[in-house]
Structure 1
Amino acid sequence: MAKYVLRLFDDRIGVKAQGSLPAENRIIFIADGSATVSAGGGAATLAANSAFFSAAETTVTGGAEGAYVLRYELVSVPETEHGMLTGENIFSELLLNASMELEPGDGYLMRCDRVDLPPGGIAYTHTHQGGGIRCLLRGEFHVQTQGKEHVINPGEPWFEAGPDPVLAWAPDHKPGHFSRVMILPRALKGKSSISYVNAEDAGKPKLQRYTIFADEFIAI
C-alpha cells in the first residue's frame, strides 16, 4: 500500500478567464455557471450540474457567466504541486485534503455522482467500499459517525473513509444535495458501493436519488 491524497478545491473562474492544471486523476464538477474543459486532445463545454474526468493536463475556461467549480484530485504523497488554479480573474481555494492508503496500479476507479435527499430524507447507517469527499451544494445535512454528529452547510466538504458506519439525514425543513467523488475498486464500475449495517434497513424505502457523472478506471 502507498499513501495518496484525495483533495477538493473550490475554483471561481471569471468570464473567459483561463487556467491550466498539470496531469492528475481529476474530476471537474460544475456547481454553477459554465466552463469549457480541454484535456487529452478533447474538449467539452459543461453547464451547471455536470462533470468531466481527465488524467491529462487540463485547461479550464470560464463561460458567459463564469463558473463555480468543485475540483477533486487524487495525487501521490508527497504532493508535487500545490494544486491551485491560477490566472487573471481566478480564485482557487483548497477545501479539504484527505489521506488514503491505496495499492499502486490500476485496481481502482474514480466515481463522481450527485446525491439528492428531500427534506427529512435519511441515509440509513451504512458503509462504502472506498473513501470519498462530499461537498454540500444546497440545503443542510447531518452526518453521524464515530460517535459524533456534524452539521454540514452549503459549500462545506466532508470525508468518509468507507468502512466507518455513517448515519446521515436532511432536516425536516431543508433538502440535502451534495456532490461526491469516491475511489472504489474497479469491479464496482456501474454498481452501488453501499452496504447497510442493519439488515432491517436494506428493505426500507430510500428517498435519496443518485446521478452518476463519471465512473472512470484510473492508474495510480
Structure 2
Amino acid sequence: MTSLELNDYRLSVYDLMLNASPKTIAAAGAGFVYVASGQAELDGARVAADDGALVRGAFSLGGSGHAWLYEFAPVSQPVLNEDGISLVISHRLPSAFSGERILRADRVESNPGAATPLHGHRGPGIRRLLKGQLRAYIGENIERIDTGTAWFETGTDWVIGKNIHDSASAFVRVMILPAELAGGTSSFVAANAEEASKPRSVTYRLFGEQAV
C-alpha cells in the first residue's frame, strides 16, 4: 500500500533544455522524460527523439535539443525551479481511486478529422500536444489545443478529442492509474453503450509503466 493518498500528490510537466554537458535534475518523485527534439543522454543511456524513459528521483541529463519531464511528486515538495527547466503546468491530483497505482507514459496519435467517443479514464493525467491541433470537449468546456499546449484531465470528466488539423495529431500522455491495469491494459471508460460501440480512431504507443 502506498504511504500517501493520491490527493497528496501533484502531476507536473516541464520543458528541459538539453546541453552537451550533462546536469543533474533534482526530481522529487517518479516521472517520465520525453525527448521532443534532438537526442538526450539520460544517466549515461542515449534516448532518441520521439522516445523517452522512466525516471525515479534525481537523474543526469544532457544532449542537444529539448525534452519534456512529467513528474509525479508530493505536493509538499516545491516544483522544480532551476536554470534550463521551465514549468508548463502542475495540478494537484483528485482522489480518483485508492490502493496500489502505476504511472503510465504513452503516445496517442489520430488522423485528420478523427474524433474519439465520449469517454473518461480510470485515473487522472497530463497530456501535451506534440504535433497538429485538437478540439477538446472536457466536461462542459471546449478548448482548442495547439502544438506544445499541455492540459490536465481528471479522468472522471467526460471527454471528446477531435483532430482539427489537416495532418496527423499526436500527444504524449502520463496518467496515474490503478495497479491492476499494469501491462498496458486500457484505462478507457466509455460514457455509455452507444459510445462504447464507436471506433476510437487513435493509435497508441506505450513507453512504459512503473509503480508509484
Specify the SS of the correspondent of 1:17: coil
Counterpart contact for 1:4–1:102, Cα < 8 Å: no
Q: 1:60 matched to which residue of 2?
A: 61
Structure 2: which 5+ residue stretches go unaligned? Answer: none
| Structure 1 spans left out of the alignment, 5+ residues | none
Counterpart of 1:83, as a letter, is L
Contact 1:10 1:68 in 2 (8 A): yes
* Contact 2:94–2:154 (8 Å) recurs in 1: no
Q: Distance between the aligned counterparts of 1:205 and 1:165, measured in 2?
A: 16
Structure 1 letter corresponding to 2:9: Y
1:30 counterpart residue number: 35
Question: Is the 8 Å Cα contact of residues 42 and 62 (structure 2) preserved in structure 1?
Answer: yes
Q: CA deviation at 1:24?
A: 1.7
- Residue 6 of structure 1 is matched in structure 2 by 11
Aligned pair count reads 205
- Measured in 2, the distance between the counterparts of 1:85 and 1:181 equals 22
TM-score, normalization: structure 1? 0.86
Deviation at 1:172, TM superposition (A): 5.5
* Structure 1 position 161, deviation (Å): 0.4
1:17 equivalent in structure 2: 21
- Structure 2 CA distance, aligned partners of 1:198 and 1:176? 26
4+ residue runs over 3 A deviation = none
| 1:84 corresponds to | 81
* 1:29 partner amino acid: Y
Take 1:82 and 1:116, find their aligned partners in 2: how far apart are those partners? Answer: 29
1:187 counterpart SS class: helix
Q: Residues 123-162 of structure 1 correspond to what in structure 2 (within 5 A)?
A: 123-162=116-155
Q: Which amino acid in the other structure matches residue 128 of structure 2? A: C
1:122 maps to 2:115: yes
> Shift of the alpha carbon at 1:85?
4.7
Aligned residues with identical type, % of pairs: 28
Partner AA of 2:110 in structure 1: L
CA RMSD of aligned residues (A): 2.0
Deviation at 1:54, TM superposition (A): 1.8
**Greater shift after overlay, 49-58 or 162-171?**
49-58
Question: 1:122 is paired with a residue of what secondary structure?
Answer: coil
Measure, in 1, the Cα distance between the counterparts of 2:134 and 2:35: 20
Q: 2:91 aligns with which of 78, 85, 98?
A: 98
Asked whether the 8 Å contact 2:115–2:161 carries over to 1, the reply is yes
